[in-house]
């Protein structure tokens, strides 16, 4: 029976463990948005200090899971063969089913493991060692069945989740179309309600669908006619649960991909597919919100998955660097090689810190909205993974380029991380605009209060500006005698506080300067996103390192060192970016960049004369 091994291990635990349904209960008041508050120059330290802890019972439970999963991936998974054959063999699928890995976050009452976000992230570290398997499992549960989990009815959950949890059925997420990639709202697949109102007829095609050729259950998004409040007929997106057995569901041949070659990716077509009305997820016309909630909830796990991969790369590459000799010295003795190992260690530590901080926040009661935090983890981790794999390959030189070694496969596999689950360009816009909108609303409310004659608000703004002109001392309570940051991290804490405060003033200046047109200033928004991603990364690393040194974890001094390196680098990057965002800044080249790009795109070519051309 699928998942029998891990469920047996759970049953053998000496202390009863809370059921996943209990873990997920959200009974407290809604929690404030940590990342959005950064745009106001506000640090809600109680949200991130101390670093999240899991219970002893949950820790014991996850440790019981880790062993069998690691053993399976180390001994039973042939990643080289999966890559070469461009498919995951049946015996590997069976092993994944036996471990219960198709139902990691499905509640136990439906046959899943019912893991918290933190536990899911921990197993993700191991699963990421094979990119094809990681994508197959993520497409199944992080997006494929997630709509049923978060917005499905009790009847839908009871009907579909048990077989999805066991791996008997595989799920896929069908949103992208030939004419709509990042612009999800422009999809053309249509679902037409039957005259008797009992079913929808679904017609359209979807592209780049992971698990598309294997799935039995599809979460499909299609346009439907909806009568709005004014009685007008409008097109709105609706989410559906579609079974392959409904008929009219076909798929194209598997795509021949650069990386993650063992995962199944293909076109999926729906032709007059009859979908019962009871298979609508959420409300008719509410599908866009369902899609965004699905995508927003799963991105955080890319941090732990990327960190797991980089930690493995460091281990393999260090062995080579410490034994390979050139010029009568080991590679590990050369400064430029040492720099690469420091770079990889810092990236792994920070993305891991961000991932588990976000997972811990998501596991708390109070309906936490961590969509911005999750997007920041995805952007930082995907770009960090790509850079680290490139550095690891570089350390091996020519050997790294050969297919006899896994480095080139890691390089090919991880390139997709910057593209799927929202391209990093789109996510940067989402991060920046979500935060700017949040800050804009609160700042607008303040202006209204001042105009109404609210003396308290007006005085507060005046005093704030006065303190800035006199050289404000920024103090959010991170450092000092009563600070939450360990003394060994005091300088990093001060840098974070200063960056946060001046980021808030920068955002205020941008909103004043651009107003609503800020949505069109993508180069500005990119810098805003990069700053706030760094701020969240600094926060996560400082909080984690403070915990580690405070409780005496082994090698905590190494964590402090990595954190201080990262925070110092991020601090100066943030300062430069904020300088670029000032009006008339010499550092800002945005207008020149746009002008150069326009000249290239008008000709659709590189326009410079060749160096051998002449006018005589």
Task: Indicate which residues carry an active-site annotation.
Answer: 421
Is-contact 305 351, C-beta < 8 A? no
Detail the DSSP E strand segments found in 380-489: none
**Helix orientation angle between 301-321 and 407-414, rounded to the nearest 10 degrees:** 160
**How far is Cα 425 from Cα 526, in angstroms, rounded to an integer?**
8
In angstroms, rounded to a whole number, what is the distance separating the alpha carbons of residues 90 and 102? 14
| Cis bond before residue 397 (omega within 30° of 0) | no
Question: Residue 252: CA atoms inside 13 Å, Cβ hemisphere, count?
Answer: 14
Strands, E assignment, 490-587: none
**Phi and psi (nearest 5°) for 51?**
-60, 145
Number of residues in the chain: 616
The H or E element containing residue 260 is: none
Main-chain dihedrals φ then ψ at residue 204, nearest 5 degrees = 155, 180
Report the DSSP pairing between strands 217-227 and 171-174.
parallel
- Tokens 């097109």: give the residue: 235
Residue 84 token pair: 């070469």
Helix (H, G, I), strand (E, B) or coil at 543: helix
Structure tokens at 74: 């180390």
Q: In sequence order, what are the residues at sequence separation of 6 or more whose Cβ sits closer than 8 angstroms to the Cβ of residue 271?
A: 203, 248, 250
The answer to whether 308 touches 124, Cβ cutoff 8 Å, is: yes
Cβ 364 vs Cβ 319: under 8 Å: no
DSSP 8-class letter at 211: T
Residues 453 and 460: their CA atoms lie apart, in Å, by: 13
Which of these, 370, 173, 134, lies nearest to 290 by C-alpha position? 173
Q: Judging by beta carbons within 10 Å of its beta carbon (0-12, 13-18, 19+), is residue 42 exposed, middle or buried?
A: middle
Report yes or no: 200 and 277 within 8 Å, Cβ to Cβ.
Answer: yes
Torsion of CA 308, 310, 313, 317, to 10 degrees: -140
Task: Write the burial class of residue 567 (CB in 10 Å: 0-12 exposed, 13-18 middle, 19+ buried).
Answer: buried
- Distance from CA of residue 506 to its chain's centroid? 26
In which residue are the tokens 């060692």 written?
A: 129
- Helical segments of 167-280, H only: none
């Amino acid at each position: 029976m699928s998942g029998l091994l891990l469920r047996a291990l759970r049953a053998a635990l000496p202390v009863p463990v809370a059921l996943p349904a209990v873990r997920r209960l959200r009974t407290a008041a809604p929690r404030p948005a940590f990342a959005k508050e950064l745009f106001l120059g506000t640090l809600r330290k109680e949200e991130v200090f101390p670093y999240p802890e899991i219970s002893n019972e949950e820790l014991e439970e996850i440790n019981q899971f880790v062993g069998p999963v690691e053993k399976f991936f180390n001994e039973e998974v042939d990643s080289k063969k999966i890559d070469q054959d461009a498919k995951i063999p049946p015996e590997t699928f069976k092993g994944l089913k036996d471990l219960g890995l198709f139902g990691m976050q499905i509640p136990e009452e439906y046959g899943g493991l019912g893991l918290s976000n933190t536990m899911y992230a921990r197993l993700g570290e191991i699963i990421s060692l094979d990119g094809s398997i990681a994508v197959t499992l993520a497409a199944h549960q992080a997006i494929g069945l997630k709509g049923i989990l978060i917005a499905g009815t009790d009847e839908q959950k009871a009907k579909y989740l048990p077989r999805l949890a066991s791996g008997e059925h595989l799920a896929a997420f069908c949103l992208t179309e030939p004419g709509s990639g990042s612009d999800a709202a422009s999809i053309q697949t249509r679902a037409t309600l039957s005259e008797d109102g009992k079913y929808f007829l679904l017609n359209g095609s979807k592209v780049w669908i992971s698990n598309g050729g294997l799935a039995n259950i599809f979460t499909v998004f299609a346009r439907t006619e909806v009568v709005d409040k004014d009685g007008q007929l409008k097109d709105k997106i609706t989410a559906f649960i579609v079974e392959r057995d409904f008929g009219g569901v076909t798929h194209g041949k598997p795509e021949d991909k650069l990386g993650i070659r063992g995962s199944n990716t293909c076109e999926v077509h729906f032709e007059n597919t009859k979908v019962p009305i009871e298979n609508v997820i959420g409300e008719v016309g509410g599908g866009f919100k369902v899609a965004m909630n699905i995508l927003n909830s799963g991105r955080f796990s890319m941090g732990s998955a990327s960190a797991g991969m980089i930690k493995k790369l460091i281990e393999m590459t260090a062995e080579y660097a410490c034994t390979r000799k050139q010029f009568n010295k080991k590679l590990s003795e050369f400064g430029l090689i040492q720099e690469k190992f420091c770079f990889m260690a810092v990236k792994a530590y920070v993305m891991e810190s961000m991932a588990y901080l976000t997972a811990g926040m998501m596991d708390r009661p109070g309906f936490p909205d961590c969509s911005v935090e999750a997007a920041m983890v995805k952007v930082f981790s995907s770009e960090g993974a790509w850079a680290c794999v490139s550095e690891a390959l570089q350390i091996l030189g020519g050997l790294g380029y050969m297919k006899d070694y896994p480095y080139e496969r890691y390089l090919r596999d991880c390139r997709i991380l910057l593209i799927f689950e929202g391209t990093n360009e789109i996510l940067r816009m989402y991060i920046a605009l979500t935060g700017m909108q949040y800050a804009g609303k609160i700042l607008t409310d303040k202006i209204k209060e001042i105009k109404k004659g609210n003396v308290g608000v007006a005085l507060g703004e005046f005093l704030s500006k006065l303190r800035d002109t006199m050289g404000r001392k920024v103090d959010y309570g991170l450092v000092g005698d009563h600070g939450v940051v360990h003394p060994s991290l005091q300088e990093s804490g001060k840098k974070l506080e200063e960056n946060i405060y001046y980021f808030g003033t920068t955002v205020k200046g941008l909103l004043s300067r651009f107003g609503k047109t800020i949505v069109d200033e993508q180069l500005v928004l990119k810098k805003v996103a990069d700053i706030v991603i760094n701020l969240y990364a600094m926060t996560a690393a400082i909080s984690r390192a403070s915990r580690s040194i405070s409780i005496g974890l082994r090698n905590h001094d190494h964590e402090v060192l990595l954190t201080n390196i990262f925070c110092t680098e991020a601090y100066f990057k943030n300062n430069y970016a904020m300088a670029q965002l000032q009006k008339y800044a010499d550092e800002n080249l945005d207008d020149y960049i746009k002008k150069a790009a326009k000249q290239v795109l008008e000709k659709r070519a590189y326009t410079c004369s060749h160096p051998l051309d002449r006018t005589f």
